[in-house]
């Protein structure tokens, strides 16, 4: 009996010890889980301090050079090319003959039209003299005059056709592409392509500026322009167009006309930069990095850090100055704003600052 009691006590004690150990382990595991959960709940972010700086209001915008004139022209009449007088890379002037089309039949038609016209003129003169003496009626005279007018129109068209056998440059510029060779057959429908001519005596640089920048721009304002391939050269330009309406990205297209130099260094398609000088001196502005804004600058929302958590603040953005943005209201000097990681944040999220 005594042995049974001892055995029972030992078993109960063992069960109690096991229960104690299991309970203690559960508490430790829960604590560790809570720590891991808390750590996993934090979002890694980079930060920047809000500060007031002396800022230049000058700005630059990039774009591509385009020719002042560009024309791809095609044949208006059918025929066979007998001569091509210009090649790719040649500079041609307006009215210069670029190619000649076979004109045998056209010349014969022009000669026939000329003979018909001369006969019609002679007939009209005879009828006019006869009308004075009563030899012909007024109706016969009018018919002779009508025949003369029609013959004149046919001769004019025939002479135009003769002129069309000489294909002439409609604008001045460089032959950028030639589509025909001697022996090429031209058709009017569909029209055969002849030449591409590009005029780069002047070029246009198309750029885009935001609403705060466009407000200070005026047509005719002189602008300094540089090309990426000529970093040591500066070209003079002037604003010739400012859009009255913003594009899809809420920027305003601006065109700058640039006079090319004598050696025509600038080529259409090159990458250029327009440097816009502000009339104002440097100003002390409160600024933050542009990437501090949630989504885009137009959202006017920025996350700041308070006591290790992210707090979403509504701000009032001013001018965009390159990769910086002026803050008019909503932040104070010395506050810490989050510049990366916002996509994973909500108001009140815990954050882990990346050094």
Calculate the CA 312 to chain-centre distance.
35
Q: How far apart are CA 24 and CA 34, in angstroms?
A: 16
Assigned architecture for domain 106-164: Orthogonal Bundle (1.10)
Band (pLDDT 50/70/90 cuts) for residue 335 is: very high
Structure-block tokens of residue 181: 């060779």
Which fold would CATH assign to domain 60-67+199-276? Elongation Factor Tu (Ef-tu); domain 3 (2.40.30)
* 125 contact partners, CB below 8 Å, separation of at least 6: none
Q: Which residue has the higher pLDDT, 49 or 108?
A: 49
Query: What local confidence, expressed as pLDDT, does residue 178 receive?
Result: 95
Ranking 5-14, 207-216, 334-343 by mean pLDDT, the lowest is: 5-14
> Strand, coil or helix: what is 58?
coil
Band (pLDDT 50/70/90 cuts) for residue 211 is: confident
Calculate the CA 238 to chain-centre distance.
18
| Mean pLDDT, the chain, whole residue set | 83
Assigned architecture for domain 44-55+282-353: Beta Barrel (2.40)
**Sign of the CA dihedral running 83, 87, 88, 91:** negative
Ranking 267-271, 280-284, 297-301 by mean pLDDT, the lowest is: 280-284
Query: What local confidence, expressed as pLDDT, does residue 65 receive?
Result: 95
Query: What local confidence, expressed as pLDDT, does residue 141 receive?
Result: 80
The pTM assigned to this predicted structure is 0.56
Q: How far is CA 250 from CA 31, 151, 158, 160, 246, in A?
A: 52, 62, 55, 51, 5
Q: pLDDT digits over 309-330, tens only?
A: 999 999 998 877 778 888 999 9
Residue boundaries of the structural domains of the chain: 44-55+282-353, 60-67+199-276, 106-164
Q: How far apart are CA 186 and CA 106, in angstroms?
A: 15
Query: What local confidence, expressed as pLDDT, does residue 39 receive?
Result: 47
Query: What local confidence, expressed as pLDDT, does residue 37 receive?
Result: 41
> Strand, coil or helix: what is 286?
strand
Structure-block tokens of residue 326: 């002026």
Give me the count of residues in the chain.
Answer: 355
H helices then E strands: how many in the chain? 4, 21
Query: What local confidence, expressed as pLDDT, does residue 84 receive?
Result: 94
* 185 contact partners, CB below 8 Å, separation of at least 6: 78, 79, 80, 81, 192
**Sign of the CA dihedral running 15, 16, 22, 25:** negative
Q: How far apart are CA 22 and CA 29, in angstroms?
A: 10
Q: pLDDT digits over 25-63, tens only?
A: 555 555 544 443 444 568 889 999 998 888 777 888 899
Query: What local confidence, expressed as pLDDT, does residue 24 receive?
Result: 60
**Sign of the CA dihedral running 290, 293, 299, 302:** negative
Query: What local confidence, expressed as pLDDT, does residue 34 receive?
Result: 44
Q: How far apart are CA 3 and CA 223, in angstroms?
A: 108
Q: How far apart are CA 98 and CA 266, in angstroms?
A: 25
- Phi, psi (deg, nearest 5) at residue 220: 95, -10
Query: What local confidence, expressed as pLDDT, does residue 249 receive?
Result: 81
Q: pLDDT digits over 171-198, tens only?
A: 999 999 999 999 998 887 788 999 999 9
Q: pLDDT digits over 125-183, tens only?
A: 888 888 888 888 888 888 888 988 898 888 887 766 666 678 899 999 999 999 999 99
Query: What local confidence, expressed as pLDDT, does residue 126 receive?
Result: 86
Three-state secondary structure string covering 184-215: CEECECCECEEEEEEEEEEEEEEEEECHHHHC
Query: What local confidence, expressed as pLDDT, does residue 151 receive?
Result: 85
Q: How far apart are CA 347 and CA 65, in angstroms?
A: 46
Residue 227 has pLDDT above 50, yes or no: yes
Query: What local confidence, expressed as pLDDT, does residue 17 receive?
Result: 56
The average pLDDT across 247-271 equals 90
């Amino acid at each position: 009996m005594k042995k049974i009691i001892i055995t029972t006590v030992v078993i109960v004690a063992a069960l109690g010890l096991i229960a104690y150990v299991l309970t203690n382990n559960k508490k430790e595991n829960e604590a560790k889980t809570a720590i891991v959960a808390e750590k996993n709940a934090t979002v890694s972010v980079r930060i920047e301090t809000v500060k007031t700086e002396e800022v230049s209001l000058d700005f630059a915008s990039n774009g591509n050079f385009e020719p002042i004139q560009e024309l791809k022209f095609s044949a208006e009449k059918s025929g066979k090319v007998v001569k091509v007088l210009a090649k790719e890379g040649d500079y041609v002037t307006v009215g210069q003959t670029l190619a000649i089309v076979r004109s045998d039949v056209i010349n014969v038609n022009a000669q026939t039209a000329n003979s018909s016209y001369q006969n019609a003129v002679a007939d009209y003169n005879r009828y006019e003299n006869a009308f004075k003496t009563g030899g012909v009626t007024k109706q016969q005279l009018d018919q002779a005059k009508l025949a003369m007018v029609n013959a004149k129109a046919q001769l004019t068209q025939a002479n135009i056709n003769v002129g069309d056998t000489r294909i002439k440059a409609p604008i001045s510029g460089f032959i950028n592409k030639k589509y025909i060779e001697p022996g090429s057959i031209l058709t009017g429908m569909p029209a055969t392509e002849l030449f591409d001519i590009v005029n780069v005596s002047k070029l246009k640089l198309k750029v885009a500026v935001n609403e705060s920048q466009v407000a200070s721009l005026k047509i005719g304002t002189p602008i300094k322009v540089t090309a990426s391939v000529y970093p040591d050269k500066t070209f003079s330009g002037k604003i010739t167009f400012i859009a009255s309406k913003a594009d899809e990205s809420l920027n305003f297209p601006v065109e700058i006309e640039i006079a090319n130099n004598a050696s025509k260094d600038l080529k259409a398609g090159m990458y250029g930069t327009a440097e816009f000088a502000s009339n104002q001196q440097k100003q002390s502005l409160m600024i933050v990095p542009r990437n501090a804004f949630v989504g885009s600058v137009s959202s006017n929302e920025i996350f700041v850090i308070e006591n290790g958590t992210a707090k979403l603040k509504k701000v009032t953005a001013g001018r965009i100055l390159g990769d910086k943005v002026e803050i008019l209201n909503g932040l104070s000097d010395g506050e810490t704003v989050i510049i990366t990681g916002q996509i994973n944040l909500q108001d009140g999220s815990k954050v882990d600052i990346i050094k």
